Chain A
Amino acid sequence: MRSSTTAKFDIGENEYQPVNGLITRTRSFTGADKLFEIQLPDGEELGHQPGQFVQLLVPGVGEAPFSVTSSPTKPGPFELTIRAVGNVTRALHNMEPGDTVGIRGPYGSGFDPDVFEGEDILFIAGGIGLAPLRSMINYTLDERERFGELTTVYGCKEPAEQLYPDELEEWAEGDEMTYLETVDQCPQDQEWDGPTGVITSVIPEVDIDVETTNVLVCGPPVMYTFVLQELDEMGVPDENIYLSLERNMHCGRGLCGHCQINELYVCTDGPVFHYPVVRDKQEAEV
């Protein structure tokens, strides 16, 4: 006989239950990056905030965190941009519309658009770091009247690695946002008429009110130190800076311990951090 302590709970809601995400559209960029449009069952919205991420499961292969790159202002399916670096990401690159993946989330704390209401924003994106920022950039463009001056600086290794080329062109040509770009270098077989040099070489060219502009930064780990130095030299107060950080993640819920930066968990306290919160955390490496 079972004692009264057993079987108290019905099988019900479980934190690790994913839903099926149907891949409805993919788009390859020239580099190792691919955009995936994913539809949730019954056309449900993901309900994310810019900067939040999902845990994506590829059946039989594995699970990994990915930032949502589409803005919540865009109704319907959401988008991810994925760089092939390992098992899960390579398997994803072999998938096509009609295939399904598992989705948990959205997780983490993103950029709260209300915080930036009426204010100027400078976005600084390095490489695949444009993926999470694009969600916020497109949010501000879609609700343009709610924000002040908008500026985006995007740098990547070479022209062929640029994400969302059509959109970049619109950003560059439109008058709703100032857009600057650079590549570290341009190999001989590629075309480029913009500036070459690391992202920090372009940042001083932006015309912003350093006292009042919010700066939102996302890029590879090495980028942060240099960008932050540059911003400091320009006189941007630390309080105006927000960073989206990446760490190894397994649970996405503050349990597995992999994503820790000192006492902070990137999956729940971040991935978007107000700079003063992580400035003195040695393990943040910023």
Chain B
Amino acid sequence: MKVIDKPEFEALIDEKISSDRRDVVGVQDDGEKYVFDDLDSAGDLALEYDVTMLSPKKYLMPQRETILEYRDANGEFEWRAKAEPDGKVIVGIHPYDLVAIEQLDKIFIDTLRDEPYRRKRENSLLIGVNMQDASETAFAASMGTATTDSGYDLMLTDLGETYAVNIGTLEGKEFLNSADVRKATAGEVQEVERIEQEVVPDLFERELEFSPALLPTILEENYDNMAFWEDYSEKCLSCGTCNMVCPTCYCFSVDMIRDLGTNSGRESRRWDGCLLEDFASVAGDENFREEVAERHRHRFMRKGWYIYERYGDIACIGCGRCTSECVADVADPCDVYNKLYQEAQAHAQ
């Protein structure tokens, strides 16, 4: 573990902003919310934040991105798959968001390979920061994602005048090369441990009543509990916001766009969500998840059971974004999980 003075850290970031070819982005306060946005200066960073509206997923899998271009070359079409070569330097990622990115890595790089994601991801540098504040809808401690010892290039912990810095990768180490850093003292190492083990878990108001390891089983047992899903989704507007803000959701649609007046254009993909009414509809007026209750059930089954079956991860990291952004005020997964658990308990008696 290394230690860097805060002004020195800011100077390092400012140096990167002016010298790194990649965009340097970080958490800032936009007046209403915390957001990841382009950094003009390290002074704009707000690393003591609770949660950002969107996770850094937006840089690795943008809301819209071109994946293919085509043009008519004398009657022959030329297709050219696109993958943005540049990643970002992302400053201030909370541990739960790093865990979400690791989950995406497993799917988009290790298992199924997706070049547009892979390039941006592998060319990005992730600077994490241990949490100092939590939103009132978050329950990351219960999901085991409030701290992490992997998934970052560098991980900061605020120690007042200084940051303790854990180095996760060689790239992270090189990033620090030009800065004035020193080895952490035993006391500083212990302080970081104390923060991770005692201070961070206490930040959360919401709590799961059981171990997340039970979630796949609990969900499976409640698959046919339609009364629950119907009751739960009654007020839902099917706006899909809970999908869009979720750092572990990665469903998308692909659209072809023609450049007006030409024979060229591109295919772009955009975020899509299983809560949106037409997500599973096909020709002939057939919709395989017509009822809003079925769509909600699918969302939770996918997060807590299906993805677990396939990739070994619970695809909910407890950030609480879906809860805070839901206009109908129904999307609280912590509440859903606890109720399902209670139903399972009641059933067992």
Which A residues contact B (CB, under 8 angstroms)?
1-9, 11, 13-20, 57-63, 83, 85-86, 100-102, 220-221, 246-248, 250-251, 253-258, 260-263, 282-283, 285
Q: Check B284–A5 contact: CB distance below 8 A.
A: no
Contact of B112 among A246, A253, A257 (CB under 8 A): A253
Tell me, yes or no, whether B123 is within 8 Å of chain A by CB: yes
Give chain A's interface secondary structure class: loop
CB distance from A3 to the nearest CB of B (A): 6
Q: Check B256–A57 contact: CB distance below 8 A.
A: yes
How far apart sit A142 and B225, CA to CA, in the bound complex (Å)?
A: 50
Tell me, yes or no, whether B122 is within 8 Å of chain A by CB: yes
Q: Check B70–A59 contact: CB distance below 8 A.
A: yes
Q: Check A63–B254 contact: CB distance below 8 A.
A: yes
Instruction: Report the nearest A residue to B253, measured CB to CB.
Output: A250
Binds A, one of B50-58, B72-80, B134-142, B325-333: B72-80
CB distance from A132 to the nearest CB of B (A): 15
Instruction: Report the nearest B residue to A252, measured CB to CB.
Output: B254
Q: Check A256–B265 contact: CB distance below 8 A.
A: no
Chain A residues with CB below 8 A from B80, complex form: 17
Q: Check B284–A85 contact: CB distance below 8 A.
A: yes
A-B contact sample (18 more), CB < 8 A, given A83-B283, A248-B282, A257-B252: A1-B20, A4-B174, A5-B125, A9-B85, A11-B85, A14-B82, A15-B113, A17-B68, A17-B79, A57-B79, A59-B72, A102-B70, A250-B272, A255-B108, A256-B253, A256-B272, A260-B306, A263-B302
Chain B residues with CB below 8 A from A8, complex form: 122-123
How far apart sit A62 and B113, CA to CA, in the bound complex (Å)?
A: 23
Q: Check B250–A255 contact: CB distance below 8 A.
A: yes
Chain A residues with CB below 8 A from B70, complex form: 57, 59, 102
Chain B residues with CB below 8 A from A11, complex form: 83, 85
CB distance from A7 to the nearest CB of B (A): 6
Chain B residues with CB below 8 A from A221, complex form: 282, 284, 286
CB distance from A62 to the nearest CB of B (A): 5
Which B residues contact A (CB, under 8 angstroms)?
19-22, 67-68, 70, 72, 75-77, 79-83, 85-87, 107-108, 112-116, 118-119, 122-125, 153, 170-171, 174-175, 223-224, 250-256, 258, 263, 265, 267, 269, 272, 274, 279-284, 286, 288-289, 294, 298, 301-302, 305-306, 309-310
Q: Check A9–B72 contact: CB distance below 8 A.
A: no
Q: Check B21–A6 contact: CB distance below 8 A.
A: yes
Chain A residues with CB below 8 A from B286, complex form: 220-221
CB distance from B242 to the nearest CB of A (A): 14
CB distance from A286 to the nearest CB of B (A): 12
How far apart sit A98 and B253, CA to CA, in the bound complex (Å)?
A: 30
Contact of A9 among B77, B119, B224 (CB under 8 A): B119
How far apart sit A270 and B32, CA to CA, in the bound complex (Å)?
A: 47
Chain B residues with CB below 8 A from A254, complex form: 112
Most chain B CB within 10 A, of A15, A59, A83, is at A59
Q: Check B289–A250 contact: CB distance below 8 A.
A: no
Chain A residues with CB below 8 A from B289, complex form: 283
Instruction: Report the nearest B residue to A103, measured CB to CB.
Output: B79
Q: Check A20–B76 contact: CB distance below 8 A.
A: yes
How far apart sit A243 and B221, CA to CA, in the bound complex (Å)?
A: 27
CB distance from B313 to the nearest CB of A (A): 14
Chain A residues with CB below 8 A from B301, complex form: 262-263
Shortest 8 CB-CB contacts between residues of A and residues of B? A257-B251, A60-B258, A14-B81, A263-B306, A17-B81, A85-B283, A14-B115, A5-B171
Instruction: Report the nearest B residue to A283, measured CB to CB.
Output: B288
Chain B residues with CB below 8 A from A102, complex form: 70, 77, 79
CB distance from B59 to the nearest CB of A (A): 14
Instruction: Report the nearest A residue to B278, measured CB to CB.
Output: A248
Chain A residues with CB below 8 A from B82, complex form: 14
Q: Given that A102-B77, A260-B298 are known contacts, is A248 also in contact with B281, CB under 8 Å in the complex?
A: yes
Q: Check B20–A2 contact: CB distance below 8 A.
A: yes
How far apart sit A1 and B116, CA to CA, in the bound complex (Å)?
A: 23
Instruction: Report the nearest B residue to A19, measured CB to CB.
Output: B79
CB distance from A55 to the nearest CB of B (A): 9
Q: Check B85–A60 contact: CB distance below 8 A.
A: no
CB distance from B348 to the nearest CB of A (A): 23
How far apart sit A86 and B67, CA to CA, in the bound complex (Å)?
A: 23
Chain A residues with CB below 8 A from B252, complex form: 250-251, 255-257
Q: Check B77–A100 contact: CB distance below 8 A.
A: yes
How far apart sit A240 and B294, CA to CA, in the bound complex (Å)?
A: 30
Chain B residues with CB below 8 A from A15, complex form: 81, 113-115
Chain A residues with CB below 8 A from B76, complex form: 20, 100
CB distance from A145 to the nearest CB of B (A): 38
